[in-house]
Amino acid sequence: MSTPFPDRPASDRLAPGKPAIPRWKWLLGAAVVAVPLLLGIGLTRDPSYIPSMIVGRAMPEFSLEALSGDAKVASEALLGKPLVINFWASWCVSCRQEHPLLVQLGDRADLFGEFGIVGINYRDSRQAALGFLDREGRFPYASGLDTRGRLGIDFGVYGMPETFFVDAAGIVQARQVGPLTQEAVERNLKLIGAGR
């Protein structure tokens, strides 16, 4: 019986029903192409950007006990001018990192009156939060206590710290996940009509 390729050894010929290239070689080739592609996409994304359902919507209403204990921190009293809302906690390492910038931001808000700022102490005790502020320095603005995290849920808080930028109409325009930077502050203040 003659074979169609008499000059090729039997080991080079395909057995009936076998693919021309073994499956593992196809998978290896696909992985060699896919892994660098996925890494490239991942490395070009901003890690502080996490999609948020609240951006573009009205800020949730709230009335929280003030950290100082002598008043309430309420959303209705904050409406009418651009607003920065910072969620922070004493147990949050990144909150220590952004703390000096928030103190400067609070001083700027007091000095120029171009925007308001409020802190929301998230899932923390009053004692721990006050201890944090005694060590790191007091904010020049009010902080409300969200000890159970309910307001954080309303805002869609993902981790600490998170900062929301709200325009004068009460619409959340931006969300910053992770510690604030001067660049992020300036960009988002302009977005809510409070930049210089």
Report the interhelical angle of 126-136 vs 93-112 (nearest 10°): 70
- Are 158 and 181 spatial neighbours (Cβ–Cβ below 8 Å)? no
- Are 61 and 75 spatial neighbours (Cβ–Cβ below 8 Å)? yes
Report the interhelical angle of 93-112 vs 182-191 (nearest 10°): 50
DSSP H or E segment with residue 117: strand 116-122
CA angle 125, 128, 133 (to 5 degrees): 125
* Whole-number pLDDT of residue 23: 76
- Are 118 and 152 spatial neighbours (Cβ–Cβ below 8 Å)? no
How does pLDDT run across 79-137, given as a tens digit for each residue?
Answer: 999 999 999 999 999 999 999 999 999 999 988 889 999 999 999 999 999 999 999 99
In the block, which residue shows the tokens 């931001």? 105
pLDDT tier, 8 (very low <50, low <70, confident <90, very high otherwise): low
How does pLDDT run across 144-186, given as a tens digit for each residue?
Answer: 999 999 999 999 998 999 999 999 999 999 999 999 999 999 9
| Burial of 88 (C-beta count, 10 Å sphere; 0-12/13-18/19+) | buried
pLDDT tier, 24 (very low <50, low <70, confident <90, very high otherwise): confident
Query: E-assigned strands of the chain?
Result: 63-65, 72-74, 83-88, 116-122, 143-146, 162-166, 172-177
Peptide bond into 161 cis (omega under 30): yes
Residue 48: how many CA atoms within 13 Å on its side-chain side?
16
How does pLDDT run across 33-78, given as a tens digit for each residue?
Answer: 777 777 666 555 555 555 678 999 999 999 999 998 889 999 999 9
Which pTM was predicted?
Answer: 0.75
In the block, which residue shows the tokens 């951006």? 55
In the block, which residue shows the tokens 């000096």? 100
- At residue 13, does pLDDT exceed 60? no
- Are 121 and 92 spatial neighbours (Cβ–Cβ below 8 Å)? no
